[in-house]
Amino acid sequence: MTAHLAAAPEPSVTVRAPGKVNLSLRVGSVRPDGYHPLVNIFQAVSLYEEVTATAVPAGRGVSIAVDGPHADRVPTDRTNLAWRAAELLAERTGVEPDVHLAIVKGVPVAGGMAGGSADAAAALVACDALWETGLGRDELTHLAAALGADVPFALHGHVAVGVGRGTS
């Protein structure tokens, strides 16, 4: 009798992040930097994006697969915000960005509910855990703000007020 050994599954981490609605949005006159000052009230909703970060062999880099409604409308290359989140975290922590991100869409695509931002927030948390970088929530929030105005909200959820450019 011959024994067959099954390969151990690659480590993975799954994280869910909520979409959001804007309960209120106030926009001021354009500032000298070209941005409008905002006061925005965000509310997390019970629609979620789910991102599973799975380790891949060294040198493979980042890859993305997307499933769910309208998944064909979501980019699976470097233009994807979750991809950029993984690369940013890797760059800031000195980790090689070798990861496969499996995204399951639960927030409508292009519906203004921050589905892409939720993907990025979930990717930051999942990759942080997978790579054991040990960043705290404040450091992840700083990285999230570098990715976009809605990404920090998706890290925290609940209800929040965004002011300025909407990132604080």
Catalytic, 98? Answer no
Choosing from 98, 119, 128, 150, which is the catalytic residue? 150
How far is the C-alpha of 90 from the C-alpha of 154, rounded, in Å? 20
Choosing from 20, 98, 105, 128, which is the catalytic residue? 20
How far is the C-alpha of 87 from the C-alpha of 97, rounded, in Å? 6
**Secondary structure of the chain as H, E, C letters:** CCCCCCCCCCCEEEEEEEEEEEEEEEECCCCCCCCCCEEEEEEEEEEEEEEEEEECCCCCCEEEEEECCCHHHCCCCCCCHHHHHHHHHHHHHCCCCCEEEEEECCCCCCCCCCHHHHHHHHHHHHHHHHHCCCCCHHHHHHHHHHHCCCHHHHHHCCEEEEEECCCC
Catalytic, 105? Answer no
Residues marked as catalytic: 20, 150
